[in-house]
Structure 1
Amino acid sequence: MARLTEAQAGGANVLRFLDLIAFSEGTAPVAGSDDGYNVLYGGGLFNGYRDHPRRRLTFPINGNPVTSTAAGRYQLLERYWDAYRTSLRLSGGFTPENQDRVAIQQIRERRALDDIKAGLIAQAIAKCSNIWASFPGNDYGQNPHKLEKLLAKWQQLGGGTV
């Protein structure tokens, strides 16, 4: 589960959407992980939250090698962490709470936050598909989930209106 409180996140649906991202990105269920917050691209784990792990890893996707610095519950790239850490004035490192804050800011920048609060999750997923490769509607070629699967998970998480 997301680590920010409901008040800090801006509502229960925002917390649910963060959990939906973690489900979609495949980070939350990684065995031995801290609910996905310490997961590297490809499923390995990193230790400590002092900073983004800054590891460039390559794995095949659909027969093609894909290299990424993605890490954490929301698979944030190193360069974006650096930018958001500065713009949001985050202290304390690549902590779970700061990962949540960055993900919410990314959602806000895609103008999907009001959709999420209203339960318009299909719209929010579409607006955020260029951030998370596991969301349908992007051209990353990384086998996104079907919208129906994400909407079913949304309802399982306790969300209403899709």
Structure 2
Amino acid sequence: MFSMTVDRSLFTRAMARVPAPVTIATTVDASGGRWGFTGSSFSSLSLTPPLVLICLDKKASTHHAFVTAERFLVNVLAADQSDVALRFARSGVDRFADGDMETCEFGLPGLRDAAARVACALHDIVDGGDHSILIGRVEAIHTGDGVPLVYSDRSFGRPVPEATAVGAR
């Protein structure tokens, strides 16, 4: 049997090198309370049926609201929305206080000028160690005009167009 212990700091540093989309997932609980978190572990999962996944720390204050929700909305942030990402990543603040979240698909809070919005019905929850993997069945999509925000090496950026990247070599 092979067993290897991976150094946590090395794992964290390596994963920071992987460019990731920056998203805000939102939901509304049974009493009408709005919940949201910043997530960079967001990906498509299946085309048939259309499924996406997003990961949420089991210790997060938003965890219960999301695992008991019927629906959630993933807002893919535009390149100029890093301030929103930082606000929704903070604990102990009213993440919705700035008023930039509006009622969007299925009555869920969303950003009108997001690069994309993906509205989902909660399809499944899978154990992912210290995170829950929320699998959503996509029910509605909105694609905006903004360039998406990405996160890599602990900083925000924007995708580099291929022509620019090739020319920079």
Q: Which range, TM-score by smaller chain?
A: under 0.3
Q: TM-score under structure 1 normalisation?
A: 0.25
Q: Which has the higher strand share?
A: 2
Q: Which has the higher helix share?
A: 1
